[in-house]
């Protein structure tokens, strides 16, 4: 079964509405047809790399120039760039740890929903009315932002470089995109999405363990399973004897991690202010809205016009359940 060798590749495959290049390619060469073969563990794009013997892995990768030996192989280059950038976004693990759901949209307008329901659980008696849950649209649209990078490089500069070296540069672009997304996500967690006033408790004086107990205890309907802090706040928190016990001390020395804070995953980010602790139930707190996928200038990339080609992402964040996020702020 080698139907992948007969697929005709051209740049029009990037122009199909509401489908990525990979999805279009799968339509011509479906992975389900290879379940019992040696190609079962790779997708349609990877089969095309195999077809044209383009090696992109860490060990003995080819030179970038190999993508441009024909019009068909050049068509694969934008998808390779996209995948390399995406792999860089996955390095920012904190972002993945705080998002409850990702929503992909195809326009610049998105209005999130929110829920209203009775606070107390109720036993329904015979003939009694059933309590309702009202689902409504939020008043304000989700604010969408664009972030990305522009490639400033001549094709002649990179054509004889190993693909894996170029991959590292593309991963760095993805990392920077994800960092900016994380910064925006933390801003929405702290300051809200413009629809409701965030739950912020201000405490005078320095950090005490009882403050953390009160924070944990403030969650009733939801569970505090994630805590976001700055590097300086992490230093203060790990200085509390109740947290930095012999077990956590050994764990921290071996791995650089502390298991949990009252059952919550402890995450660190430089985008959190030093005087703030963000606690949330990650399963109910934050929705990420993406306008399409990460975008690359496929026309320029296919035509070897790398200079000033752009890689961008349009995204936004909204809080789902307001009570699933609690903010603790310290004032001297």
List, in sequence order, every residue forming a beta bridge with 319; answer none if it has no partner: 286
* Strand spans (E) along 132-285: 133-137, 145-151, 200-204, 226-229, 265-268, 276-280
pLDDT for 206: 87
The stretch 148-154 carries a mean pLDDT of 92
**Residue 228: CA count within 13 A, CB half-sphere:** 29
pLDDT higher than threshold 90 for residue 248? no
Q: How would you label 298-314 residue by residue, b for 16+ Cβ within 10 Å and e otherwise? A: bebbbebebeebebebb
The stretch 245-249 carries a mean pLDDT of 59
Q: Write down the mean pLDDT value for the chain.
A: 90
pLDDT for 233: 94
Torsion angles phi and psi, residue 326, rounded to 5: -130, 135
Rounded Cα distance, 189 and 279, in Å: 9
pLDDT for 132: 81
pLDDT higher than threshold 80 for residue 120? no
pLDDT in tens, 259-306: 667 889 999 999 999 999 999 999 999 999 999 899 999 999 999 988
In the chain, what are the domains?
A: 1-51 (no CATH), 197-288+319-331 (3.30.2320.10)
pLDDT for 3: 84
Rounded Cα distance, 238 and 244, in Å: 5
Rounded Cα distance, 292 and 237, in Å: 39
pTM to 2 decimals? 0.89
pLDDT for 80: 97
Selection from 285, 250, 275, 245 nearest residue 261 by Cα = 245
Three-state DSSP at 113 gives strand
Rounded Cα distance, 173 and 167, in Å: 10
Could you give the residue ranges of the DSSP H alpha helices within 260-315?
A: 298-302
The stretch 8-29 carries a mean pLDDT of 93
Rounded Cα distance, 101 and 282, in Å: 9
pLDDT higher than threshold 60 for residue 78? yes
pLDDT higher than threshold 60 for residue 163? yes
pLDDT higher than threshold 60 for residue 249? no
pLDDT higher than threshold 60 for residue 250? no
Burial class (CB in 10 A: 0-12, 13-18, 19+), 34: buried
The stretch 59-83 carries a mean pLDDT of 95
252/157: higher pLDDT: 157
**For residue 150, how many other CB atoms are within 10 A of its CB?**
12
């Amino acid at each position: 079964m080698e139907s992948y060798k007969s697929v005709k590749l051209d740049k029009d495959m990037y122009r199909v509405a509401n489908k990525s290049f990979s999805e279009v390619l799968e339509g011509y060469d479906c992975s389900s047809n290879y379940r019992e073969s040696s190609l079962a563990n790779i997708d349609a794009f990877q089969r095309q790399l195999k077809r044209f013997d383009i090696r992109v892995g860490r060990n003995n990768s080819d030179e970038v120039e190999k993508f441009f030996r024909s019009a068909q192989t050049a068509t694969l280059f934008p998808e390779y760039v996209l995948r390399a950038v995406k792999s860089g976004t996955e390095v920012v693990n904190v972002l993945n740890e705080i998002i409850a759901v990702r929503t992909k949209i195809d326009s610049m307008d998105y209005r999130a929903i929110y829920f209203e329901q009775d606070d107390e659980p109720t036993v329904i008696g015979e003939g009694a009315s059933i309590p309702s849950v009202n689902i409504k649209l939020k008043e304000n649209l989700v604010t969408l932002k664009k972030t990305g990078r522009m490639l400033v490089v001549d094709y002649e500069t990179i054509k004889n470089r190993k693909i894996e070296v170029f991959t590292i540069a593309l991963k760095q672009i993805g990392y920077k995109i994800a960092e900016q997304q994380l910064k925006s996500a933390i801003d929405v967690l702290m300051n809200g999405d413009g629809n409701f006033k965030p739950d912020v408790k201000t405490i005078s004086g320095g950090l005490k363990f009882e403050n953390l107990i009160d924070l944990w205890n403030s969650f009733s309907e939801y569970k505090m399973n994630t805590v976001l802090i700055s590097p300086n706040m992490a230093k203060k928190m790990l200085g509390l004897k109740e947290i930095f016990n012999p077990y956590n001390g050994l764990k921290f020395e071996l791995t650089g991690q502390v298991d949990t804070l009252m059952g919550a995953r402890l995450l660190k980010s430089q985008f959190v202010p030093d005087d703030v602790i963000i606690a949330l139930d990650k399963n109910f707190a934050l929705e990420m809205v993406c306008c399409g996928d990460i975008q690359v200038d496929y026309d320029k990339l296919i035509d070897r016009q790398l200079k000033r080609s752009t890689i961008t992402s349009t995204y936004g964040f909204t809080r789902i359940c307001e009570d699933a996020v609690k903010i603790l702020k310290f004032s001297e």
